[in-house]
Amino acid sequence: MDSKLKGLALAGSVAVILLVALAVLYSNGYFHRRHAAPQTTGTEEESAPADAAADDPHRLGTDLSAFLWDPDFFDPEEDARRSPQDTSNHLSIITTSVEKDLRVQIVDIKGELVTGQTFYVRLTDSNAKSSDYKDLDEDGLLYMGELAAGDYRVELLPIEGFKVPATATKVKVKDRVEYVVIPDISLLLHTEDEIEPRAEDTEISDAIDDADETEIVDLQPSDNRTMAGIDVSKWQGEIDWKRVAQDGVEFAIIRCGYRGSKTGALVVDPYFVQNIAGAKEAGLKVGVYFFTQAVTEAEAVEEASAAVSLVREYAPDLPIYIDTEGAGGNGRADGIDKETRTKVCEAFCRTVVSAGYDAGVYASRNWFYHNLETSRLDAFETWLAEYRSSPLYTGYYHMWQYTSRGSVDGISGNVDLDIRYASKKKNE
């Protein structure tokens, strides 16, 4: 046999040997074990490969999936690093500017104000001049007034036990009021459990003193030009709205909140939710009002923002009103002048309108005459309080509160009664 034939014969022999070897490996399940998921059918000892190599702790026999049975294969420290971290102590800040001011709210991972801690905030202007501010009352809120308009950086300084933002927040302090709803206003709302209601909720209407013997105290039926209604707050207590509707009431204006006469806190009326939900369920049209003690346009924007945030989910049919009246002589807004009070009402209404709702102003006849420049409020609804058979007020009004001593089935005690007109009414 020549060399060429010998080479062919040798190659053929090697090929036959390889084919036989592959057939043996396949019949023994080698390829099956390589590609199938590991299975455990007994105890750990029974399931682990029998040919584990004792001299190599990271190599368990010839089974390439055998590392799954090795308790020391995975690094426990690496697992800990990959596990979800506790972020309950992580803080962030929310900033709001209305007019040459800045409000900084310190919130947790849930977006809730963090109280009971003394936080420090550093404010740096565009000239790199810094000032530190302290949260003195530990309510998670810092207010910085009388700032120059412009760009600033806000930093929450480190505090033990908390994770503060690593970088500063860039903010712009506004030069003038923008009549837009403050998105995070809900963080500033208080319940009556957090304040002293007797000192804060002190509204007093002078319409009572202006009433005469012709005051109507019975609910006036509606017709094709008018609707019969009431306005209520916590002072009416529990209300059976179904009976109210059956007694001829077609709409209700519900107090959603007030600003405290003493501290200026924004407070939710404790009966607001059940009142507006009950009135709507009974088929009544609803609107809301907010008792103001604002002394600046910026505070009026806050009050309007509070009212909008409270009423948004209830889709009111009627306007959101600002209730401007006295607070017993000691209210924080009792002494503001006519110009300021008019600006407050205008800022409230414009903010409400910017949010897509109708707005209006509630006041007594004397209040409209002496404490407001009504010509600047003509774009909004007028809700007049005057307790006599026919109002003496000579301006236009959309709704008339004609008594505070009314009686309606479903309400214990007195309630304010109102007439709403299909179009503006003017008493000649």
pLDDT in tens, 380-411: 999 999 999 999 999 999 999 999 999 999 99
Domain shared by 301 and 327, yes or no? yes
Domain shared by 280 and 379, yes or no? yes
Residue for token digits 């209604």?
Answer: 229
- Given phi > 0 = left and psi -120 to 50 = alpha, else beta, which region is 34? alpha
Does residue 370 contact residue 380 with C-beta atoms inside 8 Å? no
Backbone phi and psi for residue 74, each to the nearest 5 degrees, phi listed first? -85, 145
| Domain membership flag for residue 2 | no
| Domain membership flag for residue 298 | yes
Strand partners, 113: 107
- With helix as H, strand as E and coil as C, how does 17-69 read? HHHHHHHHHHHCCHHHHHHCCCCCCCCHHHHCCCCCCCCCCCCCCCCCCHHHH
Cα separation, 197 vs 32, whole angstroms: 78
| Domain membership flag for residue 335 | yes
Domain shared by 299 and 390, yes or no? yes
Domain shared by 144 and 246, yes or no? no
The pLDDT score that the predictor gives to residue 31 is 45
| CA-based nearest residue to 287, from 258, 261, 322 | 322
| Domain membership flag for residue 86 | no
pLDDT tens digit at each of 428 positions of the chain:
444 444 544 555 555 555 545 554 445 544 444 433 344 434 434 444 444 444 444 343 445 545 445 555 555 555 555 556 678 899 999 998 888 889 899 999 998 999 999 999 999 999 999 999 999 989 999 989 889 999 999 999 999 999 999 999 999 998 988 999 998 899 899 999 999 999 999 999 899 999 999 999 999 999 999 999 999 999 999 999 999 999 999 999 999 999 999 999 999 999 999 999 999 999 999 999 999 999 999 999 999 999 999 999 999 999 999 999 999 888 999 999 999 999 999 999 999 999 999 999 999 999 999 999 999 999 999 999 999 999 999 999 999 999 999 999 999 999 999 999 998 888 75
Range of the domain at 422: 185-426
| CA-based nearest residue to 129, from 150, 106, 156, 99 | 150
The pLDDT score that the predictor gives to residue 270 is 98
Domain shared by 233 and 369, yes or no? yes
Does residue 287 contact residue 251 with C-beta atoms inside 8 Å? yes
Domain count, the chain: 2
- Write the pLDDT tens digit of every residue in 15-72: 555 554 555 444 554 444 443 334 443 443 444 444 444 444 434 344 554 544 555 5
Cα separation, 309 vs 303, whole angstroms: 10
Cα separation, 156 vs 135, whole angstroms: 11
Does residue 320 contact residue 289 with C-beta atoms inside 8 Å? yes
Domain shared by 202 and 228, yes or no? yes
The pLDDT score that the predictor gives to residue 88 is 84
The pLDDT score that the predictor gives to residue 42 is 41
Instruction: CATH number of the domain at 129, please.
Output: 2.60.40.1930
Cα separation, 318 vs 277, whole angstroms: 15
CB within 8 Å of 195: residues ≥ 6 apart: 260, 263, 265, 267
Which uninterrupted H or E stretch holds 394? none
Instruction: CATH number of the domain at 199, please.
Output: 3.20.20.80
| Domain membership flag for residue 70 | no
Domain shared by 162 and 195, yes or no? no
Residue for token digits 């409270």?
Answer: 310
Last residue of a domain, one of 117, 142, 173: 173
392 vs 209, 374, 425, CA distance in Å?
14, 16, 12
Cα separation, 143 vs 105, whole angstroms: 9
